[in-house]
């Protein structure tokens, strides 16, 4: 079977981490469907595109895809806010791309979806034997966390056990990416409103792809 090729267009380069979550969902929902993902990084091309429509056109040239993922953050847990982000994305697309685009809209920011696995945080921080307590938000209130990025960064620094100069050298951005790589099971995210909306979109678009 031909591998499904997908591309992620995200708000920022650090959001490349979402590729890990996308792949987990595809592998979990469609275990017999091989897939390959790319992150659309426009920083090194002449005149990087700013509008989504232009980004999609550039992605078609440099990161060809069968299915496209577009990331935006939602500032609120309200379903109306998530729906608004979905509409904004679709309003910026060309009609030919409607049926192949999946919106991925975490509440607050991408880091919210990484605050689910204390062991992954310890491993990413390079200190899997850390004996302190990693206080993660309960799933039922995870999307109400006001500063998920700051919280994740704080937990990683704490778990690293590093102090002083060594802590200053701690590469937090790389470590955040390692958190995602060390999470083997993202199914707890299915308790979150935003992730439920994401997987509904994913199933709709992938099923359409498989039918055609």
Question: Which residues, listed in sequence order, are joined to residue 101 by a DSSP beta bridge?
Answer: 68
Q: Which residues of the chain have pLDDT under 50?
A: none
Ordered structural domains, the chain, with CATH = 4-107+192-211 (3.40.50), 111-182 (no CATH)
Q: What is the distance between the alpha carbons of residues 121 and 152, in angstroms, rounded to a whole number?
A: 8
* pLDDT tens-digit series, residues 29-52: 999 999 999 999 998 888 899 999
Rounded to two decimals, the pTM is 0.93
Contact between residue 45 and residue 51 where contact means Cβ atoms under 8 Å apart: no
> Residue 44: its pLDDT value, please?
86
Task: Name 28's Cβ contacts closer than 8 Å, sequence gap at least 6.
Answer: 186, 187
**Could you give the strand order of the β-sheet that contains 101-104, starting from the edge strand earlier in sequence?**
35-39, 4-9, 67-71, 101-104
Q: Is the dihedral of CA 62, 63, 68, 74 positive or negative?
A: negative
Contact between residue 52 and residue 42 where contact means Cβ atoms under 8 Å apart: no
């Amino acid at each position: 079977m031909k591998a499904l090729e997908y591309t992620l267009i995200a708000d920022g380069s650090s959001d490349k981490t979402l590729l890990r979550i996308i792949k987990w969902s595809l592998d979990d929902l469609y275990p017999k469907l091989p897939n390959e993902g790319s992150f659309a990084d426009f920083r090194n091309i002449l005149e990087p595109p700013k509008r989504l429509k232009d980004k999609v056109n550039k992605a078609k040239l440099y990161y060809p895809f069968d299915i496209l993922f577009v990331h935006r953050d939602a500032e609120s847990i309200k379903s109306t806010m998530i729906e608004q982000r979905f509409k904004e994305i679709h309003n910026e697309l060309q009609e030919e791309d409607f049926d192949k685009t999946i919106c991925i809209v975490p509440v607050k920011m991408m880091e919210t979806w990484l605050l689910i696995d204390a062991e992954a945080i310890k491993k990413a921080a390079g200190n899997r034997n850390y004996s302190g307590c990693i206080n993660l938000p309960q799933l039922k209130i995870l999307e109400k966390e006001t500063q998920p990025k700051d919280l994740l960064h704080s937990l990683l620094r704490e778990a690293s056990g590093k102090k002083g100069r060594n802590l200053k050298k701690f590469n937090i951005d790389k470590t955040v990416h390692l958190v995602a790589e060390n999470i083997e099971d993202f199914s707890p995210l299915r308790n979150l409103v935003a992730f439920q909306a994401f997987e509904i979109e994913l199933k709709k678009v992938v099923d359409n792809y498989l039918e055609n």
